[in-house]
Each structure stands twice: as structure tokens, then as C-alpha cells.
Amino acid sequence: MQYFQYRCGQLCAQGVPLAHIAQAVGTPVYIYAEAALRHNYQTFAKASADMGSLIAYSVKANSNLAVLSLLASLGAGADVVSGGELERALRAGIAPGKIVFSGVGKSRDEMRKAIIAGIYQFNIESVPELIVLNDEACALNTTASIALRINPDVSAGGHEKISTGKAENKFGVNIDLARDVYKHARDLPGIEVTGVDMHIGSQIDSLAPFKAALLKALDLVQDLRRDGHDIRTFDMGGGLGIVYNQDEDILPTAADYMDMVRRHTKGLDLKMIFEPGRAIAGNAGVLLSRVHYVKHGTARNFLILDAAMNDLARPALYGAYHAIMPVIEPVSDQTETYDIVGPVCETGDTFATHRRLSVMKGGDLVVMLSAGAYGAVQAGQYNTRPLVPEVLVKDNQFSVIRTRPDLEDILKLESVPDWL
């Protein structure tokens, strides 16, 4: 976390003390380091440069327009999974020819907008979806380029809710059925078959599952070419993990990952597409929160924060781990063990249990690290708690890139029927 470090006893994002942001914006608040986003993207781009690949950033990881605009300026493409994400990518300046559209439930309207925009590729997940896309393309008197997302039935490890490459998952077409689906696609007048797509999961901490899935998929590529299909692209998806717990083993780097892919795709004349999301945004952001109360109980001590599960859902959804640090650098070795919780009326509103920190008191500031991906994008307004704001830091300055709504902003979206 080189972009979030103590300076003169204060935890800073690059050159900005987090306490200054708390004072100006309030808490809870997401804070992103621009230099980290830039570095993480460029690491992927550099590692894959000789493959002529497309780095299609996974917008669902962090879809803020400022984040997308930064990545667009660096040459990134986008992997989108909804019409809303497509609109965000386009407004941020990402070229349509660098956008791929994934997801199991694309609507006709979303397909139509993507065709008109001129996106690079649809990643198709079922035969019914393929038929609908053909209808929409024909209605527009054009063709849509597609890759079929194949399900290689490979276990990627990690939490079951973010595994996507097993036969029992909802994603993709079973690899054993793929050749028949490609044959069907070739006969559709609104479809141009261009590639193969796969995505086996998220927060994957080993290259072994990627390799196993890749080898299965490359066998399919060869079969499809023998069947007469002009397979030109191969979409590896995303899923490369990041460090959430500093005690974890060292994870594979982008360079390790690309070296593995390069070895096995050499000579196959495939344009490679990669969809990193967490690996670009995850460690570039933190959630800054203030301690409401320290509650000492007979069984547990509770650190009650002003952040809650509606601000950062990952611990409640997946039992996810986030390292937690005080904003003021500890000056003594005195510590205490806390359950770190939010104010929402749910037992699941818990960020950590039995976590040892320096002794805390009400009003102290803490941060949850590695919160730049799947944090703000999953936030909601449960308990009528306003949506958490976002801040982007560059060097010694910061800017609010999503404001915190007030209660009037929330309530004006609702209405009471005349009969009440």
C-alpha cells in the first residue's frame, strides 16, 4: 500500500492527510489514489504489450466516471455488463472499438444501444441470447461480432459466490456444447463469429486454474478453426487476485500471468483480451470511517463505526477480509481486541471480529484498506443512510468525484399516491 502511508504520524493518501479529507467531506468516504490506478493499469499494459492485447477494464469493479476517464486517458478499453456501464464507459471517453459487453442477461434495449455504439465484441452466454442479438442486429441491417463465453468447468478456488467457471454456475456455455453453438451462430445472418471468451472467477490466488482453463479453451479454438470458424480473438476475462491481508502469501503478478498466457498462445495468431478490474482498482482505494463509540462488553469489545454494510458490503456478502488501520500512527504498543461493526440494525453489519488494534476512542478515524474495488459500486441506502461519497487524490490535492446526497435528495425520488 505504498500510496497510503504514515507521514509525520498521519496516514496519507499520496500527499494528502486523510484527516483533512474527513474534515472537508465528512465520513464515511471512499478515497482513491490516482497514482495507484495509473500504476496498476500500466503494469497490465506493459506486461502484455508485445501481444497487441486489449486491456478491457472491468467497469463493475469501480465505475466512477473519474476513474474511467483516467483509465481512458491511459488507453484502456472496458468490459461492461449493463447498458448503464456502457453509457459510463462512453461518457468517460473510452472508444467503442475497445468495449466488450459481457453478462448473462443483456436486454434487447442494451444490445441495440451497444450495436449502434459500435462496440468491439459481445460475449455471448447462451443460445437464447445469441438469437435475440441476431434479431436486433438484423433489425439494424448490420452484424454483431461475438465470442461465445465457454464454461470450462474449472474450479478457481476462493469464495463460492465469486466462482464463475464451474458447470453448476450460471455463466457461459458448457465447453462440451460449444462447437454446436458456434455452428448455429455461423448460420445466423446478423452474427459474425470472431472469438472465444472465458472468465472463471474472481480473487484467484494461483495461476494453476487460469492455465487449466486456458488449455481447455485453446483446444476448442483449434477445433473451431478446423470447423471453418475464423477465430481471431481470445478473451481471458479477469480474476487475478490482490493482497487483502498482509499475512497472505505473495500472489502472482500481472507479469507472471502474462508470461503464462504468452507461452501457451504463442504462434496461434490470437488477439488477446484481458478484463482486470479488482487488480487495477482494489488496492488503489480505502474506506475512511470515524469511530462513533467504543463499547466494552463482557464477551466482546465493539468498535462502532459510522461506516456500515450499506457502504462496504463485501464482509457481509462474502466474509471478506479488509485490513483496518488507525489514521493516527500509534505511539505505543498498547492494543485492544475489537469486533469492528457499523450502525445498521443487522448482525451481519460486521467488518471484522477479534481484530487487534491500537487502543481506540470515540472520534478516532480508521481506514479499511483494499476497498477500491467492489466497494462504492455495491453501496446502497439501507436504513436511509446516504450513499457514500468518493474522492480522488492526485499528489497533494483531492477532488470529490461523487457527492454525498442529503435526505432531500433521497426522498425526492419517492412519491405518495393521491389516494393516501
Question: Of the residues 8, 12, 138, 345, which is catalytic?
Answer: 345
Q: Which residues pair with 276 in a beta bridge?
A: none
Cell of 242: 490482490
Strand partners, 286: 31
Decide if 266 contacts 304 (C-beta within 8 A): no
Task: Respond yes or no: is residue 12 known to be catalytic.
Answer: no
Please identify which residue in the block is written with the cell numbers 476462493.
Answer: 158
Cell of 418: 393521491
Residue with grid cell 478453426, as numbered in its chain: 225
**Phi and psi (nearest 5°) for 38?**
-60, -50
DSSP per residue over 238-300, as a string?
--B---SSTTSPPPPPHHHHHHHHHHHHTTS--EEEE--SHHHHGGGEEEEEEEEEEEE-SS-
99-101/4-7 β-pairing: unpaired
CA–CA dist 180, 157 (Å, integer)? 29
- Three cell numbers at 186? 455461423
Rounded to whole angstroms, the Cα distance separating 201 from 256 reads 18
CA distance 301 to 339: 6
Q: Which residues carry out catalysis?
A: 345
